[in-house]
Chain A
Amino acid sequence: MDLDRLTQKSSEWLRGTGPESDVVVSTRIRLARNFAEFPFTTRIEEAAKAEVAARACECFEDLAIPAKLSYINVSTLDELDRQFLVERQLISRELSEGAGARGVAISNDEDIAIMVNEEDHLRVQVLRSGLTLDDCWKSMDEIDDAIEEQVAFAFHDQYGYLTACPTNVGTGIRVSVMMHLPALVQTREIQKVFHALQKINLAVRGLYGEGSQAMGDFYQISNQYTLGLSETQVINRVREVVPMILKYERRAREQMIEEKRQELHDHISRAYGVLSSAQTISSEETMHLLSSVRLGVNLGLIEDVSIPILNELFIQTQPAHLQKLKQKALNSAERNIARASLLRRRIAEAAE
């Protein structure tokens, strides 16, 4: 697959459609799977690792699923291209920075991504727009069955699917819902809501899953237990908490509108103003302002730009995306200029 082609298009999960998409940006399910006859990736010899990758590729070629997958050999990509895939949520930082034979198979819509030789031999991901737990699982279950027709997975009657890290053993499933919660952040209720969640065994992470500080008010809620519950039970646990968070966020939004509509409108309009006219802008400020504008659009305070475009801009203003767009390496100051120029252009086009 030609990576440059990806820069021209947008991923399925950014479409801004699907249930509750004013708050729920996307739903992601991933499964961890290992080939039965090889050591795990952390303990494997280079030749065997290459064999795992070769077998995975062979299996992807005629996988009995509706989508067609293209394999990208990550070990031959330069750093910029790897970073580009990380920004698009197609591979993890761990895979990007790993060594030896490794890659990712992705579908045209980028809703399916199967990492090869990450921490586990296979990490299958299904990522869709909105709150679409059942759709994602149905698709995932199909993919898993299709792979399993060709490959014997490491499985144990008591422990289930065996994974390199015992925190993933059993179902190997991670169910995540990404939510945009600007009102809870602004009213400072977020810590309360999430600290409670985190401690009842649902994990909370920021947009890029690294630090604790969520960028642009995006939070990802996911399960931690993978053993002792069926896949459906895990999905239902995540499903059960989403309405509660939705309710809190919407209530905080209503409250902001009722109590300080003018102040809020001013704040959002200024954010829009900066994004549509700045000459140089950092990634951090961009995230922050895009988040305000996204809230403004959902509250009907701004009509000149759509949610899908805002969703895309969160990704396209990332460093590797800007450099792919300009087709050359840019330093931080140059990126800030390129970012501002992209924002001005996209927002002007949207407002036409």
Chain B
Amino acid sequence: MKKCRRCQKPATLHITEVRKGDVTEIHLCETCARDYLEQTDSNPDSDPAAEFEFEKLPESDEETSSPADDRGCPHCGISFREFRSQGRLGCPYCYVEFKSDLIPLLQNIHGEVQHCGKLPRRAPDSSRRQHELLQLRNELKAAVDEEDYELAARLRDDIQAIEKQINSPAKSTDNE
């Protein structure tokens, strides 16, 4: 569990702030969160970073932008600098091209960097099963957090069944 930015107690509130295009995340305990909310409540334009140390995005921390920011996506030509100023990527390939810069950004925005939702129907069976596994593991984590051990046991069985399937290609319906 993350610690409170201000007092090191366990952080129970995770606040995502978007200010002038900068995404920042702060983790606070309940007491500090209440102070924080009151502060932003009474003066929404103030910069709470003055008192609460913000965990800035790695990119926005750099005072001078690195030359790497000027490299463009080979497919759509957008540079990372342009992306940062307008907040929109240029094409699907940008996600591959700017991977190293995007991962910390995604981590900051969503707290996770691995999709575990729906899969396109055209996805090959092997990746479908991988995703099913990810989804089940995610649910298992939630079940354990909520101390629903009955559900957790059932999910563990499901996970094992799929893992067995993946490891025995004979049973697989995958053509690859």
Task: Give me the interface of A with B, judged by CB distance under 8 Å.
Answer: 34, 36, 38-40, 42-43, 119, 141, 144-145, 148-149, 152-162, 164-167, 169-171, 173, 191, 195-196, 199-201, 224-231, 233-234
B-side contacts of A155, CB under 8 Å: 119-120, 123
Bound-state Cα–Cα, A308 to B41, Å: 35
Name B109-133 residues within 8 Å CB distance of A. Answer: 109-123, 127, 130-131
Query: A1 → chain B, closest Cβ, in Å?
Result: 29
Q: Which 7 pairs of residues, A with B, have the shortest CB-CB distance?
A: A228-B112, A160-B115, A43-B90, A154-B92, A171-B117, A227-B110, A39-B91
Is the Cβ of B90 less than 8 Å from the Cβ of A159?
no
Query: B133 → chain A, closest Cβ, in Å?
Result: 12
A-side contacts of B123, CB under 8 Å: 155
Bound-state Cα–Cα, A149 to B122, Å: 8
On whether A228 and B88 interact (CB within 8 A), knowing A166-B109, A195-B41, the answer reads: no
B-side contacts of A173, CB under 8 Å: 117
Stretch at the interface among B8-16, B152-160, B165-173: B8-16
Query: B161 → chain A, closest Cβ, in Å?
Result: 19
Contact partner of A229 (CB less than 8 A), chosen from B33, B88, B138, is B138
Interface core residue of B33, B40, B115, B138 (most chain A CB under 10 Å): B115
Is the Cβ of A162 less than 8 Å from the Cβ of B95?
yes
Q: How large is the interface on B (under 10, 10 to 19, 20 to 34, 35 or more residues)?
A: 35 or more
Is the Cβ of B118 less than 8 Å from the Cβ of A171?
yes
Which residue of chain A has its CB nearest to the CB of B96? A156
Is the Cβ of B90 less than 8 Å from the Cβ of A40?
yes
Contact partner of A230 (CB less than 8 A), chosen from B111, B116, B120, B127, is B116
Which residue of chain B has its CB nearest to the CB of A153? B120
Does chain A have a CB within 8 A of B2? no
Bound-state Cα–Cα, A191 to B127, Å: 45
Does chain A have a CB within 8 A of B89? yes
Does chain A have a CB within 8 A of B37? yes
A-side contacts of B117, CB under 8 Å: 160, 170-171, 173, 229-231, 234
Name B28-54 residues within 8 Å CB distance of A. Answer: 33, 37, 40-41
A-side contacts of B41, CB under 8 Å: 191, 195
B-side contacts of A229, CB under 8 Å: 112, 116-117, 138
Bound-state Cα–Cα, A230 to B88, Å: 23
A-side contacts of B102, CB under 8 Å: 166
B-side contacts of A165, CB under 8 Å: 87-89
Contact partner of B121 (CB less than 8 A), chosen from A36, A149, A158, A171, is A149
Does chain A have a CB within 8 A of B64? no
